Each structure stands twice: as C-alpha cells, then as structure tokens.
Structure 1
C-alpha cells in the first residue's frame, strides 16, 4: 500500500509494532542468518524448519519488548534505537566478520576519532542512512491509530504479547534440542543477533565500568633492585608494544617475503610460537602488563590493580611511556607518560595520526639526562587497520599494488596483503631504530630490548577482517603474535645470558604474553615475590 509523500500513512498500533518487529528481526539480521546457514547447512527438511522458525522467534521477542514499551509510550523510541544499533551491527558483522560483545564495545569506545573516521566509508554511510536513519525516521513519521477506549487497546496488545509467547513456546517444544545443540556448539553465534547482542554488550560493559572505580590494589610492594644491577653501568631497556602485527607475516617467522630485512641483521632472538592474551588492544595490553595469566585473567581486577610498570618503578627504575596508539588502557596510569600524537609534529602527523617515528621525538635528550636505570615503553600504532596505507611513509611502499582505501573489503586479497606487509617493513624499521638508539648509548648503559605485539589481524581469510573476535573462536592469525628480544653483548656477558641457549629455547618452546611480566622483571633486575622464575624466558639460559 502506497501513500502520497505529503500525507502521513496511518496504521493500527498492532500492525505498526509487528511491521517494525519484522523489519528488525529479518532484514537487520541477514548477517546472523547467513552465519546460521554456515553453522547448520540446510541439507535436510528439519534443518530448514529450524532455520525458518528463527525469524518467527526473533519477531516474537522483539514484538514483546516493543509492545511492552508501548504501554509507556516509548515504542517509537525503542524501535528507532533498535533499528539504529541493529543496522550498524549488521554492517560490521557482514563486512568485517566481527562479533558484538563487551570487548568489542570497549574496543569501539577506545577507538580514537581518527580511527573512527577511517571506518567512515561511503558504503557505511549509505548503508546506515538507508537501513538505519531513514527507517528510524519512518517509525516516527507513520501515524499510529489506537482503538478507544484505552482498555480496548490494552487488551489487543496483551493478546499480541500472549500470541508471541505462544509462538516462542511452540518453537521451543518442537525444536528445543536443535536450538540447544546449535548454540551450545556455536556459543558465539548469538552475539551476531541484533539488537540483543548490543544490549547484552552494553549491560556487560556497564557492570564492568561500575567495578572500575574500586580502590587500587597494590602488588609487588617488596620490589627492589637486584644487587647486580646497582653497581657499574646503569641499565636501559626499551619495551616496544606492537599493534596488530601478526606473526604469520613476519619473515623472522618464516614468511616468504622479506618483511624484516633490518631485524634479520640485528642478532635478535625471535620467538615464533607466541600467543596473545586477547584479540584486541583493550584486552591484550592490560592483560600482558597485569601479571595474571590469560586463563585466569580478570579484566575487572586489572582495572583497579597495579601492574608491571608499577612494580618496576617501585624498585627505583625510571619509567617512561610514549604513546602513539590512543592510550595505554590503564597500563601506564601511575608512571610518567606522554601522548606523542598531541605534539602534531610536521611531517610525522596527519589528521590526528602519526607515524611511529614520532615516538622517538625527544628520546635522545631524555636518555642523555637519565641518571639511573631506565625502562622506556613505546606503544606503536603499528599495523592498525583498516587504513593500513596510512601506517607507513611513502618510501616503505615496496609491495604493490596496494589497498589505498579504508574500504578494505573492496580490495583484492593481494592488494590488502601488500599494504599490510608494507606496514611490517615500517615496524621492522622502528624496532631496528630503537636498537640502534640503544647501541649509541652503550658507553653509559647496559642495554636490552623487547618487542611484543598486542594481537594479530585477519586480512580477509574466510571473509574475516581486522581483529577483536572472541578468543575461543578467533582465527589463529589474530592470536599468533611476533615477539623478539635483543640483548647487547654487554648485557649478555655482564649478566651471564647464553644467546645460543636462548635461540634454541625460542625455536622449540611455546610462549605467550603471560611471559612478559616476569621476563621484564628479570631483565631489569627487579626482585619481588610477584616474580615467577618459571615464566621468565631468560631463566634457563642464565649462567648459574
């Protein structure tokens, strides 16, 4: 039925509620139904019936919610909100293969304005405009007719709710075992169903945020500097926290392309079997600095507990955190830190984003003035997508053709990989630059360096892009990260580290971000009860 543009169409309230419940449940959940088909192939009649029952359940649930909201005259607002969040969720689920949960919501909230702008593609704008804003506007444009008196309208709506409940119960009685089996084996599938995914993620985030303001829990209060580190030359360690570098594309890992030409000459020890704590910065960074192993990691506790840098600083070591990736996620809150992007240095920074060389600005002067032992953390923007082409200066554009757009799903696989590999060439340059900086100050300091990426990245494999998938189902490329350690010859001889032993250990053993905490404490000579020798990578290669 069509209406003149200048005349508002009129519908009964029940029809209005049912119409938009159907739109949200069916047309804004196409990505969910696609994932259901992948998980449950429609190769028999029963699977077909189960599949067809899903929209009926979704329509019924949404109809119950919006009908209840109508008793408070909030049905239009509720429908509009459901449309907007569902349209946005479907776009990112469909195009990037993500899942909407609390960690993804935190990832979204922690995204910098420049990173958000990078995601604003014409396709996104058009999709959200047509499927979201326009339809939300239609929900307010349509005139709703309710029968008088009020009790009659109320009865009709109660009957509608009862009918929806009956529909849900009927489906449950017929297909409960099928639903239970599907969602038990595919636990993350429900996180693609809108708008329940966004609602659940928001509630989970709120619950977590409430606990974030709890009193600070101190750890390592007994921290002190080891005697061996108190005499002779001072010690200086640089820890580089990588961003979105996946081990699969590091030539040090055996990748076919030479993406690490400089590091291959630096006598580093590379650890090819290293796992991340999470698949997003908001999880991995606080986890790796917390001292809690991934299997027992409590992000709520980590939010109000001291971490690695607090313990190192308590031992009398000077700590500095240079930031180029939108924040340290709590890891540097109680140590000196500076946001390098705020400097907006010419030639390094464009539209609120900077090349990682900005992290070295003023570092030479800082080291020259450093009197005691020091730890410098460089938090890079690394290979953060989708604008991979903005992560490196033009001279690092060696692999071509490249994907010079934020609409990465429109690029060929080869273009995307080429662009990503160029970011790793720049990562190689940055880490090598840090090593050379340490080498230039070996007359004053005994030096060492650790590089560890926070998580990996998907580059379109199986239709999945970027990162942030739930750990249990995330592809290996999002969890397998590069880690390396460089020890100056002076460090090796002074503290009895056998590099041959370390190289052999790295090649055969599995490691993870769980090892960073105690390895850094051991590397810097920080003694404390929180140190665990079994987690310190260097332990077995120290001369007794």
Structure 2
C-alpha cells in the first residue's frame, strides 16, 4: 500500500507547525549540538542547563518564522526548504567538519559537475532521503483540519507565536552571558546551526556578489619589459604550475617519509616548505595570489574587477597562455588567452568530465615553437582535489597501498586515506618534472624558469576534519601550509646572476602566496611600479643586490 493510498492524517495548523519546528530544531541539528558539547563539556549544572536550553531556542525561532509564513500560506514550502538544506548541511558538517559560510557557498558554485557528483555518495543520498525527502513528503501529505472560524485558525497560532517569543526572552534573561561567552569564543558554532547557516551564507554571498559587477580597475599601466629581456637574442619563457590541494606536510622534499617527490629531488629545484596560503579554497587563494594584494589586505570584491599579474605581464609585451584543468581560473585569466583543456575530452586522459593533469601539455610544444617573443604559461592542475583522490592519478602511480578507492573517505582507514592522497602527490611530482623537461627541451631558444605553488592544503581526518575550505582564522595548518618551489635553468642563473647557494639558504625562511606576484614580475623582467623588490624571493640573490 503506497503512502498516497493511506488515509491522510489531519492536524491543526499550529500543531503541524510545532511538530516540524521541533523536528528541524532537534533532529536536523545533531551536528550542531555535538560541536557544542565539544566546546562546552557538561561539567556543571549551569552548563547542562545552558545546553538543554539550546534546542528550545532553536525550536522557538523556527516556530516563529514558520508560523508567520503560515499567514501567507507559505509554511509548507518553507518547511520543505528548511528540511532539505538542514539535512544536507548536517551531513557535511557531521562527516567532514565543514563550516557553512559565504566562502563555502562560493566553493559550491565554483565546483565542477564532476566534483559535485563525487560528493554525492550513497551514504549522503540515503541520509538525505531518510532525514530530508521523506520528511518533506510527509509535510505535504498531512492535511490541515478545517477550522470552525477565523478565530479558531488565528488564535492558536498567535498563542504559539507569543509563547515562543516569551521562551526566547526567558532563556536570554537566564543565560545571556553564557551564550555570549560561548559564541564569542567559538564563532564557528553559529555556522553549524541549521537552517540559519545556509540562509545567512547565501544572503552574504548574494550581497557580496552584487558588488563585483563594477568597472574594471586597471593596474600596472606603466608596465614594460626590461632592456635586458628585450635586447637579448634568446627569449625568456616561464611556466607557473598552479597546484590544487597539495599540502606541504606530505612533500618528501622536506623530509616526509613517503617518497612523494622522487623526480623533483633530482631536478635541482629550490623548495620552500614554510609557505602560507592566502585562503583555504581555490576561490579565495587563486585570485588572491594573482591580485598583487597581500592576504592581510586582500579585498575579493576589488580583485573581482581589478587587473592582476597576468594583465600586467601581457601589457608589458609577454605572450600569456593559461591552460585550465581545474574548473576555472576564478578571474585570474579572464583577460588573457586561456583554454579549458578538460573540454578536449582526450581518450585515455579524460573520464566522465575529469582529466588527468597530463592533458595540460596537449599542444604545448607546438605553442612554444610558435612563440616569437618572451612568454609565460600557467598550467592550472586539478592536482590532489578530493574527495575522489583515487581519480587524480593513472594506475601506474598507485605506489602507496592500500588505498582509499571511494569518495566516502571518512570510512577509510587513516593509512588508506594518506596513501591515496600521497599517490596524487606522486603524480604532481611527475607533472612538475614534465613541465621542467618541456622547458629544457626548448633551451636552444629560451632562457627558462618555473614556479610551482599550490592554492591551499588539505585535511586528511586530523581531529575529525576532512577536505578544505574552513574559515582561515580557525583552519588547521594542514589547510594553510602549501608547497612552493622554483626551478631556474643554468642559463637563467648565469644570465641574471642568481646565486643558487644564496637561494638554498632562503628555503629556511617563511614565505607566502603574497610573494608570487613580485617574484614572477622579477622572473619575467617586467618593470612596473607595482613590483615590490622585498616581495621578490630572488631579490637578495641577484648579484647586483648582494
């Protein structure tokens, strides 16, 4: 017998609202209460009373909103929306410890279809069906009792509104200081409370997005190439390999026990293990590192309508190319030649809308052979993007075993998860080494250099946290420390008088993505007032400055 064949249950409207308000407040906020207990253990009677009051506050607020919506006949629709967003949010908060804020909304909107599908695990689908869809169906299946008159319809809801408001006021009078202290010291807790977290994050994104459609601000209008770069018979070529989700902790170049960088260890690269990212997501870090604004003063609204690093070097006369394999450049390449390599759908390299990073080299030699002047190429990799780490590398790079061959990474052992992630870094090693070899193969015509820098790191279950994208202030170091390295051809070292012994000493210093902007301007010989010598990593090691 189907649900529709059953006799429909009839409830008074105010009781209907109370039941669904309670369901959302109690059962779809279990992740929130779990986090509250971690932040405020129930060691005293007062702590216990504060904790027990929280579901009452959540219930009262939701009941007020839904009851007001009922006077406009919008209560069922609002209940459906609250249940679905709360059920989805609770799953990801509980399983991945995410924080639902504006940056997470940006991440979701910028995520490719294949990356989104990777998060649609059977566990998630079952959870959403049982806690969300089923409850929504029930909300539309229940019928309302026909009121005997206007008063019998309005008065019970008015009483419910008044009672909820009084309950909130009473709890505020009793425990305001406790609430204020808890949420002041643990600001991230509010972003785990559903459905307010989803609503607040979406509104914040919308308001923020309205400010981005502003006139383009030009930057570095004085840019030109240095005489040394222009007058040489041998042109200059720089490749930037832009990493994705590589964390510094797992690079063997700095002593990590898994040999994740066997090829780069032989390439005479200068590796900077203490490098800090601008953000914990691609949507923040990529535009930030190309913007010329330091993280401390980074304004993403301004960055969205202001020229950046690649605009400047292009204006100086360099040929610029951005090859994309990670769902978009987040505005950094909007005004320079760029191509989405994923769309090529090359056999053997691309499967179900995702490609191995080898696709970035397709046609690259032909492009370089046709270059007439100085150039810069950006290869934006998909790198180690999760949760489907096992999709990021071909079978021959499955060196560390056993692996976590599923998108339900929270169900894998620590060993399986780390092994799979480290295999992605083994493939990153191959990709960066291949880029270096491409440069070497064109050294008869070009003086060459390379920079590798990841956009952000990754959490692999440390303290129950997975993936990335947490607010910077509370994000773990695994999400903020990223690998950065520089490779200079012998020709570049000689031509620009760069002392390698000096460069190797700099690896002990702390750097950040803030250094990319001026370092690349210096590498490419781009002269502009936007260049900050102190931010250029090579400044101290050029013989003219020593």
TM category (shorter chain) comes to: over 0.9
Name the structure 2 match of 1:142: 142
In 2, Cα distance between equivalents of 1:201 and 1:4: 36
Q: In structure 1, the residue corresponding to 2:543 is in which secondary structure?
A: coil
Q: In structure 2, the residue corresponding to 1:378 is in which secondary structure?
A: strand
Q: Which whole-Å deviations, capped at 9, do the CAs of 1:430-463 have from their partners, x for residues lacking one?
A: 0000001001111100000000000000111111
Q: Which whole-Å deviations, capped at 9, do the CAs of 1:405-449 have from their partners, x for residues lacking one?
A: 111111101000000000000000000000010011111000000
- 1:488 shift after superposition: 0.6
Name the structure 2 match of 1:25: 25
In 2, Cα distance between equivalents of 1:238 and 1:146: 72
Residues 1:266 and 2:241 are matched in the alignment: no
Name the structure 2 match of 1:84: 84
Alignment of 1:44-123 (within 5 A): 44-123=44-123
Q: In structure 2, the residue corresponding to 1:87 is in which secondary structure?
A: helix
In 1, Cα distance between equivalents of 2:172 and 2:254: 50
Q: Which whole-Å deviations, capped at 9, do the CAs of 1:458-512 have from their partners, x for residues lacking one?
A: 11111111111111111100000000000111111111111111110122x1110
In 2, Cα distance between equivalents of 1:201 and 1:542: 47
Alignment of 1:54-453 (within 5 A): 54-145=54-145, 147-232=147-232, 233-453=234-454
Question: Structure 1: where are the runs of 5+ without partners?
Answer: none
Residues 1:484 and 2:453 are matched in the alignment: no
Q: Report the number of matched residues.
A: 541
In 2, Cα distance between equivalents of 1:449 and 1:392: 22
**What TM-score does the superposition give when structure 2 sets the normalisation length?**
0.98
In 1, Cα distance between equivalents of 2:277 and 2:437: 27
In 1, Cα distance between equivalents of 2:215 and 2:152: 54
- 1:5 shift after superposition: 5.8
Tell me which stretches of 4 or more aligned residues in structure 1 moved more than 6 Å. Answer: none
Judge conservation of contact 1:238–1:450 (CA < 8 Å) in 2.
Answer: yes
- 1:209 shift after superposition: 1.4
Q: In structure 2, the residue corresponding to 1:272 is in which secondary structure?
A: strand
**What TM-score does the superposition give when structure 1 sets the normalisation length?**
0.98
In 2, Cα distance between equivalents of 1:487 and 1:541: 13
- 1:253 shift after superposition: 2.1
Q: In structure 2, the residue corresponding to 1:188 is in which secondary structure?
A: helix
Q: Which whole-Å deviations, capped at 9, do the CAs of 1:309-367 have from their partners, x for residues lacking one?
A: 00110000000000000000110000000000100001100000000000000000000
Judge conservation of contact 1:274–1:481 (CA < 8 Å) in 2.
Answer: yes
Judge conservation of contact 1:13–1:146 (CA < 8 Å) in 2.
Answer: no
In 2, Cα distance between equivalents of 1:145 and 1:528: 74
In 1, Cα distance between equivalents of 2:210 and 2:442: 46
Question: Structure 2: where are the runs of 5+ without partners?
Answer: none
In 2, Cα distance between equivalents of 1:28 and 1:145: 27
Name the structure 2 match of 1:457: 458
Q: In structure 2, the residue corresponding to 1:171 is in which secondary structure?
A: helix
Q: In structure 2, the residue corresponding to 1:218 is in which secondary structure?
A: coil
Q: In structure 2, the residue corresponding to 1:273 is in which secondary structure?
A: strand
- 1:146 shift after superposition: 5.2
Judge conservation of contact 1:245–1:481 (CA < 8 Å) in 2.
Answer: yes
Q: In structure 2, the residue corresponding to 1:230 is in which secondary structure?
A: helix
Name the structure 2 match of 1:16: 16
In 1, Cα distance between equivalents of 2:154 and 2:371: 75
In 2, Cα distance between equivalents of 1:512 and 1:436: 26
In 2, Cα distance between equivalents of 1:94 and 1:338: 38
